[in-house]
Amino acid sequence: MTRLIEFVIALALVLALFLVIGLVLPSSRQLQESIETNRRMTIVFDTLNNVRRLKDWNPLIPSAANELSYSGGEDNTGVGAKVDFNSANAAWGQGSWEITESERPAPTGGPGKIVYSIVDKRMGTDKRSTFALEPSGKNNRNVKVTQSYEVSYGFNLIGRYAGMYVSRHVGDAVKAGLGKLSNMLATVPNIDYREAGSTLSDLKIVDVPAEDLLVVNAGNIDRNNDAIKGSIKSNQEWIKRVMDANGLVAAGPLRIITTDFGTEKYAFDVAQPVRKGSAAPKADAAAEGAAPVTPPSAPVASTGELKVTIPSGAPVEYVRTQARKSAYGSYTGYMSQLDNQRNALRAWAVTAGHEVVDRPYESWKSGVDGAFLEDGKFDVYWAVKQ
């Protein structure tokens, strides 16, 4: 009986000690980690402000697309944007990350902030992660990203004890995630597509219909305007011969599909969207004063595969593309600046959570000669993975 009483007293002392220590332990925990990147503030902010990009670098949520669902915000960005996850892996289980605050840096520079509210299986309540962005480095060309994690345990004594290990269970994941974020940002073209006065505008994802194209591979052309213009016009002549031979008309502006834009050479294809003409033009139409037909400014959907006969010796290929989604931007300026616009479009697309595929192309809405002037007009496209 004495031993039983001693055991009960010892147990009571242990429980009392557990309670006392638990009450002394902090009722909340906070940790933070930082990295520095040389990417533009726009790229860093837009990446963190988009819940679709979380899976690509954040170890605190699953990365499998079939375990994630997105809702809220403007295209899943900004306040209200939310990613829910439901994983069979016990490391994640069920939960969500939702943006509750989003402060975009001023166009003239300055800090930015994004706050996520977190629900997951880990102990604690009122969990949130804050990303503070600050210009840093020489002439403020870099961005310092500081991620903090906060959790409250209240009077949950077991939670308070669990908080003693939050730096290991969560802190290590935060540190690893920021490392992955830095590596991911390094793959994005370092172009500020939101810069004031940018000549690339109306950035968005569009649906491009199936199209019929006549295509010529121009090969590797010297990177000077005369050589590029001469190559395009020469290949246009080949395309026109095939169009005339098959009763085809233009179904959109001429387009240039870029294969490689090097320091000395430019490899590209010349492509013309086409459709069947309603009727063959009269041979003396010009003499009668008939005006040339202006091709549509936007892509025209194919009504079915065309039967195209390529004359012997013509370096022209008939290609029918499938309907697809594409990143899109409208650009006004010199043709020589198109490579920068392509990279800017890719930077916008990947920060918005899209993976670009295939080769980019531009519709030359001002024609060949007009494209080499300061007010040349182009529609820039880059297909995205669906």
Tell me if 82 sits within 8 A of 51, measured CB to CB. Answer: yes
Reduced to 3 states, what is the DSSP secondary structure of residue 114? Answer: strand
Q: How far apart are CA 233 and CA 8, in angstroms?
A: 97
Q: How far apart are CA 41 and CA 179, in angstroms?
A: 17
Number of Cβ within a 10 Å radius of residue 62: 21
Residues 6+ apart with CB under 8 A from 386: 324, 325
Query: In which residue are the tokens 């809220």 written?
Result: 72
Radius of gyration of the chain (CA): 30
Residue 259 pLDDT exceeds 80: yes
pLDDT (average), residues 117-136: 92
Of the candidates 77, 59, 159, the one whose C-alpha atom is nearest the C-alpha of residue 116 is: 77
* Packing angle, helices 338-351 and 41-48, rounded to 10: 30
Residue type, 146: T
pLDDT (average), residues 87-110: 90
Task: Quote the pLDDT of residue 290.
Answer: 43
pLDDT in tens, 297-351: 677 888 888 999 999 999 999 999 999 999 999 999 999 999 999 999 999 999 9
Task: Quote the pLDDT of residue 291.
Answer: 45
Residue 11 pLDDT exceeds 80: no
Running DSSP on this structure, what letter comes out for residue 110?
-
pLDDT (average), residues 211-221: 96
Task: Quote the pLDDT of residue 301.
Answer: 82
Running DSSP on this structure, what letter comes out for residue 77?
B
Residue type, 377: K
pLDDT (average), residues 2-17: 64
Task: Quote the pLDDT of residue 244.
Answer: 95
Q: What is the DSSP string of 266-280?
A: EEEEEEEEEEE-SSP
pLDDT in tens, 144-198: 999 999 998 776 666 665 656 676 778 899 999 999 999 999 999 999 998 878 8
pLDDT above 90: percentage of residues in the chain = 69
Residue 258 confidence class, pLDDT cut points 50, 70, 90? very high
Task: Quote the pLDDT of residue 372.
Answer: 94
pLDDT in tens, 12-52: 655 655 555 655 557 678 899 999 999 999 999 999 999 99
Residue 281 confidence class, pLDDT cut points 50, 70, 90? very low
Q: What is the mean pLDDT of the chain?
A: 88
pLDDT (average), residues 285-298: 53
Residue 221 pLDDT exceeds 70: yes
Residues 6+ apart with CB under 8 A from 12: none
